Each structure stands twice: as structure tokens, then as C-alpha cells.
């Protein structure tokens, strides 16, 4: 059901949406971008992207940009790249973009985004995606992609129904008869567009893996307001990060997802390779934007509570971040 030259709508043209949408447009696919605050600037100057995979510029004449999804055509693929704090807006934003077989990919952070989209538009449409990338929006229409960039994709109907269930074994039958190759076809298309992409069996495995980075690194850098390389400069920090990751490993294991035992060491080596980096949550704090707490911290905490896994460090991180978030919101109101 996926056409060979599918059309895309990018819902949320921040750093992630502009970069990945830009790559798809650069490779000649029809891509339609929803923009809000940056609309006028991109209308005048286009998208300018510096990237370790090659810089590129999309001129205004080559861009389809819109202020509202009501003005956009129906597309084959909706790519949701809004921050998860904007999830309440999706019920209104997405319907104008859907034809009967439109698929919806979420590249949002953390847990709960697929469930939210599935509850609104049906699980059969949803493709879970996780982007491993260091990418920032420097100014309107100006994106800097400094490291990594690969994506994992998986049809959501392939994932275990609940976080509480066991991981689906590779041999078990798919829960229904949807086209099993949709994520595989998209992974191929993305990879051709210079977005290295791997189709995976269970996106929740990928999500929990990425949470072992986001929870300690986004959490601690946001509280302390330091770049990742400064954070990992002391043995005390490394020790605390390892202990936080152990809490996540135990929580994931309670849902049947068994992360590799050396994942803490791997995440620390990964971070060492990244150089100085400001996490998205930390940047949100600096700019007094709402923090992505629900999907990155509170849902994992709720899973731990459900399974009675002791997670004192995750709980304290969550409390401190919620307090910071409330204080910041107050200041801006």
C-alpha cells in the first residue's frame, strides 16, 4: 500500500523535522512542512542545514511550507516531529492530512507517543520511530546536525500491546494481517535519502535503550545546566549515571524488555565521543519552554511504580525537573 514515491507531511518543523524532512525533499520526494514561528523566515530564506552527512540548502522556491495543516494536501506519510509536550494538539492537526491508508510515523522522544496517536487514529496507521542524533536549531530555518543521525522504525502493531507484556519473539506471528513490510520499505527509502534507517521488531526495545541515555543525561544536564562533556568529567557523575541506568534496565526488564548489561558503559562511551553537547531538555529550560517530562521521565516512572521496581534516583530526577518546569512556566506566565 506504500507508493514508490510517497508524499510526506512534516508536523513540527523544528530541528528534527527540518533535518529529516529536508533530507527527504533533497532526494526528490514531495514533502510538505508545517511551520509556526519560523514560517516567515523560511518563506524568505529557505532551510539552511549544516550536517556531518553533507551541508545543504533548500531554497524557498523548492519548499512546500504551510502555516496550517488545513491548507496542506493529504499525504501518504505523516512524520510527527513536534515535541511530545504538544501532543494535545495532534487530534486537531493531523486529520486534514489523512487519506485511507496514510501512515503516521512518530519520531518523538520517550514513551507513550505511539499509544496517543493510536488512540486517535488507529494502531494500524502508526509507525514508531526513534532518532539517534545530535541536532539543534540555531535560529529560524538554520539547523546544525553535529553527530549520528540514524533511525529505528517499527510498525506499532508489531509491538507488544502493553509495556507490561513480554517482548514479542521474532518467530511469533504478527497480531494482524497488515502489510508487514511498511517499516522495511520506509527504512529503505529513508536510507536512500541519506538517513540511515533500520527496521526493528520491537520499537519499545529501542525506546527503552534510548531512555537509558535521555533519563540520566537530559535529566542531570537540565538540573545542573552543563554540557554533556562537563557532566561526565567526574567519577561521581559516572557512578550516578550508571546507577540511574541500572534503575531503567530493571524497569524495562519488568516489562519483558531485556537491555544489554553493558548499556551503561556504552552510553558513557557514546557521550564521550559526542564532545560538548546541550541536551534538548536543557535547551528547553534555557529558553523557558515546557520540558518534555511526561514521555521521558513520568511515563517510565509510572511503569516502574506499576511493577514495584524501586527507582529512587529516577523519582528524584522527576521531582526536581517537575519543580524546575513549574517554576519556569510560572515565570513566563
CB 280 within 8 A of CB 240: no
Between 161 and 239, CB nearer to a second copy: 239
At its nearest, how many Å lie between a second copy and the CB of residue 319?
5
Contact status: 305 vs a second copy (CB under 8 A): no
**What residues pair up with 119 in beta bridges, in sequence order?**
none
At its nearest, how many Å lie between a second copy and the CB of residue 207?
24
Contact status: 313 vs a second copy (CB under 8 A): yes
Residue 288 CA, chain-centre distance (Å), reads: 20
Contact status: 324 vs a second copy (CB under 8 A): yes
- Judged by CB under 8 A, the stretch of 33-41, 204-212, 275-283, 307-315 that binds a second copy is 307-315
Those residues with Cβ within 8 angstroms of residue 252's Cβ, 6 or more apart along the chain or in another chain: 208, 211, 258, 259
Three-state secondary structure call for residue 168: coil
Contact status: 226 vs a second copy (CB under 8 A): yes
Task: Report the distance separating Cα 66 and Cα 108, nearest Å.
Answer: 21
Could you say which of 224, 260, 276, 329 contacts a second copy (CB under 8 A)? 224
Pairing of strands 126-139, 142-155: antiparallel
At its nearest, how many Å lie between a second copy and the CB of residue 316?
6
Residues numbered 227-246 forming contacts with a second copy, rule: CB under 8 A: 234, 236-237, 240, 243
Burial degree of 207 (CB within 10 A; 0-12, 13-18, 19+): buried
Q: Any catalytic annotation for residue 83?
A: no
Set 48, 210, 299, 330: catalytic member? 210
Three-state secondary structure call for residue 75: strand
In the complex, the residues that contact a second copy under the rule CB under 8 A are 220, 223-224, 226, 234, 236-237, 240, 243, 312-313, 315-316, 319-320, 322-324, 327
Residues annotated as catalytic are 210
Amino acid at each position: 500500500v506504500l507508493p514508490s514515491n510517497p508524499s510526506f507531511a512534516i508536523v513540527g518543523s523544528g530541528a528534527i523535522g527540518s533535518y529529516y524532512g529536508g533530507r527527504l525533499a533533497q532526494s526528490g520526494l514531495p514533502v510538505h512542512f508545517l511551520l509556526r514561528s519560523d514560517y516567515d523566515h523560511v518563506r524568505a530564506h529557505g532551510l539552511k542545514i549544516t550536517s556531518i552527512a553533507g551541508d545543504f540548502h533548500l531554497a524557498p522556491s523548492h519548499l512546500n511550507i504551510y502555516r496550517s495543516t488545513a491548507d496542506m494536501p493529504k499525504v501518504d506519510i505523516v512524520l510527527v516531529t513536534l515535541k511530545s509536550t504538544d501532543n494535545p494538539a495532534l487530534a486537531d492537526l493531523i486529520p486534514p492530512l489523512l487519506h485511507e491508508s496514510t501512515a503516521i510515523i512518530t519520531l518523538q522522544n520517550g514513551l507513550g507517543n505511539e499509544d496517543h496517536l493510536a488512540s486517535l487514529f488507529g494502531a494500524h496507521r502508526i509507525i514508531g520511530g526513534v532518532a539517534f542524533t545530535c541536532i539543534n536549531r540555531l535560529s529560524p530555518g538554520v539547523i546544525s546536525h553535529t553527530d549520528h543521525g540514524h533511525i529505528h522504525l517499527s510498525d506499532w502493531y508489531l509491538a507488544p500491546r502493553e509495556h507490561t507484556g513480554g517482548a514479542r519473539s521474532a518467530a511469533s506471528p504478527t497480531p494482524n494481517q497488515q502489510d508487514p513490510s511498511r517499516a522495511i520499505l520506509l527504512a529503505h527509502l529513508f536510507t536512500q535519502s541519506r538517513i540511515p534507517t533500520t527496521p526493528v521488531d520491537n520499537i519499545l526495545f529501542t525506546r527503552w535503550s534510548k531512555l537509558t541515555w535521555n533519563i540520566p543525561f537530559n535529566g542531570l544536564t537540565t538540573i545542573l545546566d552543563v554540557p554533556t562533556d562537563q557532566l561526565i568529567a567526574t567519577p561521581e557523575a559516572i557512578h550516578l549515571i550508571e546507577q540511574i541506568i541500572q534503575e531503567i534496565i530493571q524497569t524495562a526488564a519488568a516489562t519483558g524488555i531485556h537491555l544489554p548489561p553493558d548499556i551503561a558503559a556504552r552510553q558513557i562511551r557514546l557521550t564521550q565521543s559526542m564532545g560538548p553537547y546541550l541536551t534538548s531538555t536543557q535547551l528547553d529550560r534555557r529558553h523557558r519552554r515546557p520540558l518534555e517530562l511526561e514521555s521521558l521521565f513520568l511515563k517510565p516512572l509510572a511503569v516502574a511504580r506499576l511493577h514495584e521496581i524501586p527507582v529512587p534516583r529516577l523519582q528524584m530526577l522527576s521531582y526536581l525537573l517537575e519543580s524546575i518546569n513549574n517554576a519556569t512556566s510560572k515565570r513566563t506566565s
